Amino acid sequence: MTGMLEVLATGPLSTVQDLGRPGYAHWGVTRSGAADRAAARLANRLVGNPEGAACLEVTFGGLRLRADADLVVALVGAPCPARVGTRPVPSNAPVDLPDGQELQLEPPDRGLRTYVAVRGGLDVPAVLGSRATDLLGQLGPEVLVDGDTLAVGNLHADYPPVEQAAVRGPSGGEVQLRIRWGPRHDRFTGEARSRLLADGWAAGQDSNRIGVRLRGPELPRSSEDELPSEGLVRGAIQVPPSGPPTLFLADHPVTGGYPVIATVLDDDVDLAAQVRPGQRVRFRDVGAPSDRERGSPTGCPVT
Amino acid sequence: MRCLPYGDTAVLAEVDDLTAVLDLYAQLRDDPPAGLVALVPASRTLLVQFDPAVTSASAVDAHLEAAAATAAPTAPAAEVTLPVVYDGEDLDEVAALTGLDREAVIAAHTGQWWTVGFVGFAPGFAYLVGEDDRLRVPRRPEPRPAVPAGAVGLADAFSGVYPRRSPGGWQLIGRTEVATWDLGRDPPALLPPGTRVRFEAVG
C-alpha cells in the first residue's frame, strides 16, 4: 500500500469500478465494471496505471476525498468542476493531490458519470478477479459511504507523454447511439422499428447501472409467442410487454425473457452510460455485421 | 441451428432443445473459438460473446456450425444430491395446482433427475429442468419481498434453489442447507450448466 484516501462525501452514488469480471456469465455473474469503459481506461492511462486498475465511478459529482500521502489523480467522463484545496483543477489530465489536501467534485452540467483514477490503483479486495461493484449481483465492494477509507496500491508504470487528453466529453444535447437490429427484431412490427429510429426517446428518471429506462412510443409486437429466457448483452434494448424498454448497461442481468429489438454497438454503450435522466436519445441503424467486418463501422458504403 | 447476430460483440445460437444447448456449450467450453469472452447457455439458445479485436461474428458462426455438426460425446455430467426438508409454504398450493397430494408432490420432486439448463437471475441461481411436466406450476401472482437462502421452489418449467435471500415469485416447497453459491468455495457455483441434480427428502 502506498497511501490512503479518506472519503469525506460520496455524492449521490460512488462505487469502485474497474473493467469488470468477464467470463462468469455461465454462473449467473454479469461482467459489471465501469459503465463508461472508455472514460475509466483513459483516467487510468493518464495517471500511468494499467487500464484495468480500480478507480471510482462518481455519479453526478459531489465526491470529496482527502489524501493521506502525495497522490496523483485524473478525472475523466462527465466534466465536474473540481478543486484541490482552493485550486481549480482540470479534467482529462493528471492532477497532483498532495498529502492532507482535499479533492472536491461539483455536479457536472453535462454527462452523468465521472471516473476518478489514482496513480497506483485502488487496493480493495477483488471478487472473481475484479474490484468492480456489481449492484445487481451484489458482488464486490459495498457502495461508498461517508467515512470510508480506500487504500491506494502500487500498480503503475511510466506516465504517458500527454499532459492533457483532447476529449470532447459527454454531449449535453441529443445523444446518438448506433444500433444493430436483433436478435429478436422479427417479433416486432415494421412500425415498431420505425418508431425506434424516430424522435421521441429520452432516458427515464429511474435509470441506473443496470440500464437506461427508455421513455418513448409503444413498440408493437408482431408475435405474442412466449420467448424462453436467453442471454443478454450490455447494450441490448429489451422490450417488456408493458412499461418502458431498457437499454442495458454494466450491471445487466445475465438472462432475460423479453425480446431484444436491437442492440447498441459496444463502443456507443459508453455514450449511453453518460445520458442524464430526461436527456434525449436517438438510435441510428448501421446495417448488417458484414459492413463492419469490411472495415466500415459507420455502415457507409465501402468504395 | 440458427446463428443470430447480437450487437457487434456476440452471436446467439438458437437450437432445438436444452440437450442441444448443453452439448454445444460443452463443446465450446472444451474447444473455444479464438477471442471467446463468455458463454451463456439458456433453454433454447447459447449466447457466445467475443472480442471483436480478435475475431468476428462470421468466424464465431463458423465455429458454431462446426461444433453443431460434430455432436461429439462429452464427459459425463457431474451429479449433485441436495438434501431438502419439504416444509415449504406453498407445498399445499402446489398440490392443489398439480392435482397431486403433498406426499406425491414430494415423491415427484425427489423421484426424477433435474438438469441445470442455465444460471441466471442471480449468481449461482440454477434453473433446473425436470424429466416431465408433473410439477409444472405458475409463479405466484405476487412475489415475496424476501425468500430465504436455500429455499427450494418451482415455477413454470423449472425448479430452483435460491442461492441467497432475495425477492422471489417461485412456489416454495422446501429448504436445503447446502449453499449453491459460496464465494469462499472453489468453484463458487455448485450447479453449473449441465449438472444433474437429485433431491432427497430429509428431516
pLDDT tens, A11-26? 999 999 999 999 999 9
pLDDT band at B95 (very low <50, low <70, confident <90, very high): very high
- Rounded mean pLDDT of A20-34? 96
Task: Answer whether B8 sits within 8 Å of A254, measured CB to CB.
Answer: no
Q: Is the pLDDT of residue A277 over 60?
A: yes
B128 bridge partner residues: B116, B159
**A-B C-beta contacts closer than 8 Å:** 125
Please report where in the chains the cell 455514450 appears, as a residue: A271
Query: Can you give the pTM of this predicted structure?
Result: 0.92
Partner A contacted by B78 (CB < 8 A): no
Average pLDDT over chain A, rounded to an integer: 92
Of A180, A231, A235, nearest to B12 by CB-CB distance is A231
Q: Are residues A128 and A18 in contact, defined by beta-carbon separation less than 8 angstroms?
A: no
B5 closest CB neighbour out of A22, A266, A289: A289
Residue A284 touches partner B, C-beta closer than 8 Å:
no
Residues of chain B contacting residue A292, judged by C-beta atoms under 8 Å apart: 8
Task: Please check the confidence at residue A162 and state whether its pLDDT lies above 80.
Answer: no
* CB–CB contact A180 B122 (8 Å): no
Which pLDDT band holds residue A224 (cuts at 50, 70, 90)? confident
3-state secondary structure chain A: CCCEEEEEEECCEEEEECCCCCCCHHHCCCCCCCCCHHHHHHHHHHCCCCCCCCEEEEECCCEEEEECCCEEEEEEECCCCEEECCEEECCCCEEEECCCCEEEECCCCCCCEEEEEECEEECCCCECCECCCECCCCECCCCCCCCCEEEEEEECCCCCCCCCCCCCCCCCCCEEEEEEECCCHHHECHHHHHHHHCCCEEECCCCCCCEEEEECCCCCECCCCCCCCEECCCCEEECCCCCCCEEECCCCCCEECCCEEEEECHHHHHHHCCCCCCCEEEEEECCCHHHHHCCCCCCCCCC
B43 and A228 within 8 Å at the Cβ level: the answer is yes
A180–B120 CB contact, under 8 Å: no
Q: What percent of chain B has pLDDT over 70?
A: 98
**pLDDT at res. B72:** 65
pLDDT of res. A1: 62
What pLDDT does residue B73 have?
Answer: 64
The whole-number average pLDDT for the span B70-75 is 70
Read off the pLDDT of each residue in A78-99 and give the average, rounded to a whole number: 97
Check CB contact of A255 with chain B, cutoff 8 Å: yes
Q: How far is B103 from chain A (nearest CA, A)?
A: 30
Q: Does A227 touch chain B (CB under 8 A)?
A: no
Q: Does B167 touch chain A (CB under 8 A)?
A: no
Average per-residue pLDDT in chain B? 94
Confidence (pLDDT) at A161: 74
Q: Is B35 on the interface with A (CB under 8 A)?
A: no
- Min Cα–Cα distance to chain A from B38, Å: 4
Task: Find the residue in B nearest to A263 (Cα).
Answer: B7
Rounded Cα gap, residues B84 and B180, in angstroms: 13
Question: Which of the given ranges, A149-158, B72-81, B193-202, has the highest pLDDT on average?
Answer: B193-202
Q: Are A222 and A243 spatial neighbours (Cβ–Cβ below 8 Å)? A: no
Q: What are phi and psi of A269, to 5 degrees?
A: -65, -30
pLDDT of residue A111: 97
Q: Which residue has the cell 445487481?
A: A136
Position A291 scores a pLDDT of 39
A293 contacts chain B (CB < 8 A) = yes
Of A154-158, B91-95, B149-153, B192-196, least confident by mean pLDDT is: A154-158
B187 contacts in chain A (CB < 8 Å)? 27
Is residue B9 predicted with pLDDT exceeding 70?
yes
A28:B4 CB<8 A: no
- Give residue B71's pLDDT: 67
| Residue A167 banded pLDDT, cuts 50, 70, 90 | confident
State whether residue B43 sits within 8 Å of chain A by CB.
yes
Nearest to A229 among B9, B42, B188 (CB): B42
Look at residue A207 and tell me whether its pLDDT is greater than 50: yes
Q: In which band, very low, low, confident or very high, does the pLDDT at A294 lie, cut at 50, 70 and 90?
A: very low
Task: Mutate one of A233, A252, A292, A296 to test the B interface: name it (highest B CB count within 10 A).
Answer: A233
In A13-52, the residues whose Cβ lies within 8 Å of chain B are 22-29, 31
B47: contact with A, CB 8 A cutoff? yes
pLDDT (mean) for A239-259: 94
Q: B123 to chain A, minimum CA–CA distance in Å?
A: 4
pLDDT computed for residue A293 by the predictor? 43
pLDDT score recorded for residue A288: 59
